Structure 1
């Protein structure tokens, strides 16, 4: 099989730009909506939302590669990286490194891409790794850089990247293109198109010994942020993680040809869904703030604890709704007390109930 980088037209990707126009327009409009919504929350609430979204991106980007990080530890480490108050929860090397990378991306999204920036990101991400020959630099090993699966005696090769001795030249060309296609540069490209091409191009080169997927998604988020002229809060990795199998399949198909309409169409759908999820989270934060302010002097400690626990589940909420048994587990309330508390929360407009008796379930009464 000839991979895309082995073909004569590499890296001149071909696609129908007009097919992406509606998605590009929707993305820019959606970015403006999020900025407008955020004007309705105070600085502390905006910081809390940023920490929540960015830490979730770090966790999900690692999860796509099969590495599981503790979300609370990443969140605490990220808050400290951004100079905000946080608990002293100890993060392991991988969690601290992922948080450091995301904090740098958030702070310096406007900075041009460079070898040094990528080397710094790689060193952050590989924090504490002793099993790699090349940390904070491009790979140098002579063996083929392959993505494989299956048993050792009969591996299946999903992709083979350019050899290590081509990486420096390939990355020089990629970095020049990335910086020249920013919205205020010489050859500007629309947001989703630029991010999609950048991610595919970087993943094709696969310039590092490990961490290429996470760095490639960070580059895509950098491209989106530069187009919006605002730090990225797009839930890109979170949304890709929800479609992980399709993501790898789309990348595999795109690695075989430099006509990339299908890849960009798939990527545009993911970015649109990611932005919609971010919008829902911002609205959720506003609704949470409004509800807790409205009920501040009406809730007993058990009711407040239960509501905060429900809000902690985020926009997806409790699967199937909160039951009376869930409420008793959260609050240690007696059955009769739990019944009274839940009825009170419904009467106050904090919860809505569906079902009856032991089948009753409760959901947050949010307007969105």
Structure 2
């Protein structure tokens, strides 16, 4: 098997730019929509939204790699690092590390990329990690760096990266390329094209023993932020995680050649989906704030707890809607009280109802916030 880094011309990737033109334009239009939407949120709510969006990206970029983190710990760490207070809980190393990396990415997006940038991110991600030899540096082991399927009896090599002896030279070239293709430089590239090449280029080198996928996605977000001129807050990992198999399939299809139009179209479309998801979540957050304002003083403690729980489910909500059993489970109340509470929530306009009898389901009444 011959890999892309073994091809003549590496690392000068080839692609059809006209295949990306419409996607690039769509990205610019939606960037304007995001800026317009965020203006409707006050400073305090913007801080809360920023924590929610960044924490979701931190959680999802970890989930893509099979690591499930605690949301409350990640959010607490983010609030502390942004100077927004937060509880005094003891935060595990993994949650603290990914939060530190995301804050650093957010605050230093405009800075040129350096080896030290990525070494710092790697130290944050590997906080408390004892399995690997080199933390905060490129791999040095003599064994091939391979991406292998998990089957013990018949493992399949999906990719083999350049040997460790080439890491310094490969990463010198990558950093030079990244900085020279940034806005206002001679080799400047359009936003989606640059982010897509950056991601594939980096994971093809696979310079670290672990954490390459998370850092590749961080680099894509840094690239997008630089092209936009502000932190992107784009739900990239959130969107990738929802179709993880397609993500890995696209990577595998494009790791054997330096013609990567297929990858760039896939990644550009994913970014645009992510941008759409972000705008939906901003709209959801605005609707949440409006609904709470309209319900101020109208709910009892049980009802407030359930409404807050429903909002934590996000834009997808409870699968199939909230049932009376869900309400009883959340509030630990009787069925008779749950029935009265739910009827009151319908009366004040907090919820809408679908179905009848045991098939009755309740949904947040976000439509009333558009009035």
State the TM-score bracket (shorter-chain normalisation): over 0.9
Deviations 1:190-228 (A, max 9, x none): 111100000000000011111111111100011111111
Structure-1 residue corresponding to 2:68: 68
TM-score by length of 2: 0.96
Structure-1 residue corresponding to 2:270: 270
**3-state secondary structure, aligned to 1:67:** coil
Pairwise CA distance, 1:153: 6.4
Structure-2 residue corresponding to 1:212: 212
Q: Which runs of 4+ in 1 moved over 6 A?
A: none
Separation in structure 2 between the aligned mates of residue 336 and residue 68 of structure 1, nearest angstrom:
37
Structure-2 residue corresponding to 1:233: 233
Separation in structure 1 between the aligned mates of residue 226 and residue 271 of structure 2, nearest angstrom:
15
In the alignment, structure 1 residue 122 sits paired with structure 2 residue 122? yes
Q: Count residues with an aligned counterpart.
A: 368
| Pairing of 1:1-368 with structure 2 (within 5 A) | 1-151=1-151, 154-367=154-367
Separation in structure 2 between the aligned mates of residue 152 and residue 336 of structure 1, nearest angstrom:
54
TM-score by length of 1: 0.96
Separation in structure 1 between the aligned mates of residue 325 and residue 137 of structure 2, nearest angstrom:
54
CA 1:4–1:356 in 2, change beyond 3 Å: closer, same or farther?
same
Coordinate RMSD, CA, aligned: 1.4
Pairwise CA distance, 1:151: 4.9
**3-state secondary structure, aligned to 1:112:** coil
Q: Structure 1 stretch 42-51 or stretch 341-350: which is displaced more?
A: 341-350
Separation in structure 2 between the aligned mates of residue 343 and residue 136 of structure 1, nearest angstrom:
57
Pairwise CA distance, 1:79: 1.4
Q: Structure 1 stretch 39-48 or stretch 300-309: which is displaced more?
A: 300-309
CA 1:330–1:264 in 2, change beyond 3 Å: closer, same or farther?
same
Separation in structure 2 between the aligned mates of residue 229 and residue 215 of structure 1, nearest angstrom:
20
Deviations 1:340-366 (A, max 9, x none): 222222222211111112211110111
Pairwise CA distance, 1:71: 1.5
**3-state secondary structure, aligned to 1:158:** strand
CA 1:300–1:147 in 2, change beyond 3 Å: closer, same or farther?
same
Pairwise CA distance, 1:256: 0.7
Pairwise CA distance, 1:189: 0.9
Separation in structure 1 between the aligned mates of residue 148 and residue 329 of structure 2, nearest angstrom:
46
**3-state secondary structure, aligned to 1:101:** helix
Deviations 1:228-253 (A, max 9, x none): 11112111111111111111111111
**3-state secondary structure, aligned to 1:27:** helix
Q: Structure 1 stretch 340-349 or stretch 74-83: which is displaced more?
A: 340-349
Give 5+ residue unaligned stretches, structure 1: none
